[in-house]
Amino acid sequence: MEGQRLMAEKNGGGWIKTFLGMVGGLISGAVVMYATAWVDKAVKPAKPVPNFRVEHEGANVRFQNLSPGYEGWWDFGDGTALLPTSAATDSVTHKYTRPGDYSVKLSLTNLFGEENERSVPLHIEDVPTAKLPRVLSLTAERFGNSDYAPAMYHIKAKTENAPLCLLDLGDAKDAEVVTDGTASLERWVTYEKAGDYVIKLRVINGTVTAYETEVASVQDAPAGAVQVRLTAVDAGTAVTVRTQALEFNDTFRADVKGDVSLLGAREHAAALYTDRDKEWTIRDVQLKAANGKDVSLSDKTETPLDAAALGLPSARNLRLQLTPDRRSVHLVGELVRAPAGKTPAPLPTLMIQGTMTEELRKPDTRTVPLPAYLQVPAVGKTTTEVVTLPSLPTDWVNPQPRKLNLAVSDGAAVVAPSVPIPGRVELTLQNRRCVLTATPAKDKDNKDAVRLDLVLAQARVGVK
What is the Cα–Cα distance from 195 to 191, expressed in whole angstroms?
Answer: 9
* Cα 170 off chain centre by: 28
pTM of the model: 0.62
The pLDDT assigned to 31 comes to 44
- Residues 21-32 have a mean pLDDT of 48
Task: State yes or no: pLDDT of 397 exceeds 60.
Answer: yes
The pLDDT assigned to 265 comes to 63
The pLDDT assigned to 70 comes to 86
CATH number for the domain formed by residue range(s) 127-220: 2.60.40.10
Among 125, 188, 129, CA closest to 160: 129
Helix or strand run (H / E) with residue 401: none
Task: State yes or no: pLDDT of 168 exceeds 80.
Answer: yes
Q: What is the mean pLDDT of the chain?
A: 85
Of the listed ranges 34-38, 262-266, 390-394, the one predicted with least confidence: 34-38
Among 341, 345, 351, 343, CA closest to 318: 351
Of the listed ranges 35-49, 174-188, 326-340, 449-463, the one predicted with least confidence: 35-49
The pLDDT assigned to 162 comes to 92
* Cα 158 off chain centre by: 19
What are 225's strand-pairing partners? Answer: 375
The pLDDT assigned to 128 comes to 61
pLDDT interval class at 57 (50, 70, 90): confident
Phi–psi pair at 271, nearest 5 degrees:
-85, 125
Task: State yes or no: pLDDT of 7 exceeds 50.
Answer: no
What are 276's strand-pairing partners? Answer: none
Task: State yes or no: pLDDT of 1 exceeds 50.
Answer: no
Of the listed ranges 61-70, 205-214, 405-414, the one predicted with least confidence: 61-70
Task: State yes or no: pLDDT of 50 exceeds 50.
Answer: yes
The pLDDT assigned to 415 comes to 94
CA atoms within 13 A on the CB side of 160: 8
Contacts by 108-113, CB closer than 8 A, 24 or more apart: 108/48, 108/50, 108/67, 108/70, 108/71, 108/72, 109/48, 109/70, 109/71, 109/72, 110/45, 110/46, 110/47, 110/48, 110/70, 111/45, 112/44, 112/45
What percent of the chain has pLDDT above 70?
87
The pLDDT assigned to 20 comes to 46
Task: State yes or no: pLDDT of 201 exceeds 60.
Answer: yes
- Residues 389-402 have a mean pLDDT of 93
What are 441's strand-pairing partners? Answer: 449
Higher pLDDT, 375 or 462: 375
What is the signed CA dihedral for 92, 93, 96, 97, rounded to 10 degrees?
-120
Task: State yes or no: pLDDT of 248 exceeds 80.
Answer: yes
Phi–psi pair at 303, nearest 5 degrees:
-150, 140
pLDDT digits (tens, 9 = 90+) for 112-142: 888 889 898 998 887 565 578 999 999 999 8
Among 52, 106, 51, CA closest to 83: 106
Task: State yes or no: pLDDT of 35 exceeds 70.
Answer: no
- Residues 331-338 have a mean pLDDT of 91
What are 367's strand-pairing partners? Answer: 233
